[in-house]
């Protein structure tokens, strides 16, 4: 348990004890006291669910449209342990000048053979010292197709060693490989210096 989680838990316990002690001596109506106790109890559960983001689990949110690939790994599906597998990408969003604009973030994508091959090629370039940029583009040259969510993809939990650990987000990345492409990271676009 991290220090932040322990401190937050201790803060909620102190708040609950304070609320109960105030309710014992206050002259408020019983329904106000009961409402305060119920609201505090609900927030305990909400906070417990939200703490997954503090522990560093990868997000299942959509990747940025343009990002620098920091690192990646592929976990193959395993029918023996009922692990659906996954593709894990550590990415840093790029601005219009090809400069990283955010801190690196870990993303979890549903496993597919096509995506695993793309990630493996991009990771091989990274291992040889070549900076790689990932881009989410439209599939093909026609109009953007409607993407249907996959029903067989397990989202919202990361399964490792038969233990379910809550994910930070539950919004699945719908189109896992058709729109994601990798290329060498272009050089940084420098502003015009003008005349001296």
Q: Judge if 71 and 128 occupy the same domain.
A: yes
Bridge partners of residue 134, in order along the sequence: 67, 182
In terms of domains, do 97 and 171 share one?
A: yes
pLDDT digits (tens, 9 = 90+) for 88-117: 999 999 998 888 988 899 999 999 999 999
Measured in whole angstroms, the distance separating CA 71 from the mean position of its chain's CA atoms is: 15
Buried b / exposed e along 19-51 (16+ C-beta atoms within 10 A): beeeeeeeeeeeeebeebeeeeeeeeeeeeeeb
In a domain, 144, yes or no: no
Residue 191 covered by a domain: no
CA R_g for the chain: 23
- Judgement on whether residues 97 and 161 belong to the same structural domain of the protein: yes
> Do 17 and 74 share a domain, yes or no?
no
Helix 30-50 and helix 3-25: axis angle, to 10°? Answer: 180
Q: 113 vs 5, 135, 148, CA distance in Å?
A: 37, 19, 19
pLDDT tens string 41-74: 888 778 777 776 666 778 888 899 999 999 999 9
Q: Which residue has the tokens 């930070």?
A: 168
DSSP state of 141: S
Instruction: Give me the percent of the chain exceeding a pLDDT of 70.
Output: 75
Say if 147 falls within a structural domain: no
Provide CB contacts within 8 A for 76, sequence distance 6+.
Answer: 85, 111, 116
With respect to residue 196, please indicate whether it lies within any of the assigned structural domains.
no
At residue 166, the pLDDT reads 46
Helix (H, G, I), strand (E, B) or coil at 68: strand
What is the SS3 assignment for 157?
Answer: strand
Structural domains of the chain, count: 2
CA distance 56 to 4: 12
% of the chain with per-residue pLDDT over 90:
30
Q: What is the DSSP letter of 54?
A: G
Domain, as residue range, for 50: 3-54
Which of 109 and 141 is assigned the larger pLDDT? 109
Residues 101, 50 within the same domain = no
Helix (H) and strand (E) counts for the chain? 3, 7
Highest-confidence segment of 9-23, 48-62, 69-83, 174-188: 69-83
């Amino acid at each position: 348990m991290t220090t932040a989680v322990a401190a937050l838990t201790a803060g909620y316990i102190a708040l609950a004890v304070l609320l109960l002690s105030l309710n014992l001596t206050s002259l408020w109506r019983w329904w106000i006291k009961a409402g305060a106790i119920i609201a505090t109890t609900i927030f305990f559960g909400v906070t417990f669910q939200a703490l997954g983001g503090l522990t560093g689990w990868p997000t299942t949110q959509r990747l940025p449209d343009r990002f620098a690939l920091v690192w990646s790994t592929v976990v193959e599906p395993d029918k023996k342990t009922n692990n659906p597998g996954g593709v894990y990408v550590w990415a840093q969003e790029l601005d219009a000048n090809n400069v990283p604009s955010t801190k690196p973030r870990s993303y979890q994508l549903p496993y597919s053979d096509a995506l695993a091959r793309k990630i493996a090629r991009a990771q091989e370039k990274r291992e040889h010292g070549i900076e790689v940029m990932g881009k989410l583009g439209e599939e093909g040259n026609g109009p953007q197709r409607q993407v249907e969510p996959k029903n067989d993809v397990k989202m919202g939990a990361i399964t490792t060693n038969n233990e379910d650990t809550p994910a930070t987000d539950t919004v699945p990345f719908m189109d896992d490989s058709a729109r994601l492409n990798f290329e060498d990271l272009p050089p940084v676009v420098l502003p015009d210096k003008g005349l001296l």
